[in-house]
A = this chain, B = another copy of it.
Amino acid sequence: MPSETFLRLSEDKKEKVLLAAKKEFSRVPLEKVSIKNIVEDAEIARGSFYQYFEDKEDLLGYILTNHFKEMNEKMEKQIEEVKGDIFEFFISLYDFMTSNCLTNEDLNFYKKIFENIRTCEDFLFSKKIIKERPKKIKDYIDKIDTSNLRVTTQEDIEIIEKMLFTITNKAIVMRFKYESKEKAKEDYLKQINYIKYGVLSSKKE
């Protein structure tokens, strides 16, 4: 978390720092982000930066926290909204994560952020970056409607979640990489459909 000192700063100054930071985070992947560039761009002294933030992860965490806080709130509601339908739930998650980039700058920022995703556990969802971390899907497990799922144990549900999570996560990353927004969504929905009904044709015919 940023220090009290930072939070007490004038809105103007805070904004200047955050803008410089976003610019730098948009430029290169996290490991190449240079605090030097940020302080120069924000026109603050090097020492000040360290008075405000522990390190660049701390700063990034602060920037992303709001986004994830919003996400948690949305998803909390959403699981009720979709009446426990795990597929609709993940589709909402996808929509939320991919809809938040209204400007080109935002897009570039999130693209670079997602470039840093290795596994979700490692990065975005790690306490290091996001203190207000997204709820693990596990937290919703008791709200999931399993009546029409081919599961026998609690573990099976978790496996399905993991799969959907992996696929959704990858789809989100892809959204920011190669494809058009529409094409990306279409592909994602096809994948969800395959997971629902299976890839083999025997049952379908």
Contact = CB atoms under 8 A, between A and B. Distances in A.
- Chain copies in the assembly? 2
Contacts of A203: 197-198, 203
Contacts of A187: 159, 162
The secondary structure that dominates the A interface is helix
Contacts of A195: 163, 194-195, 198-199
Interface residues of A, number: 35
Nearest to A170: B166
A40 to B, nearest CB: 22
Interface stretch (A18-26, A65-73, A113-121, A135-143): A113-121
Contact of A167 (B122, B156, B166, B200): B166
A170 B121 CA distance: 12
B163 A191 contact: yes
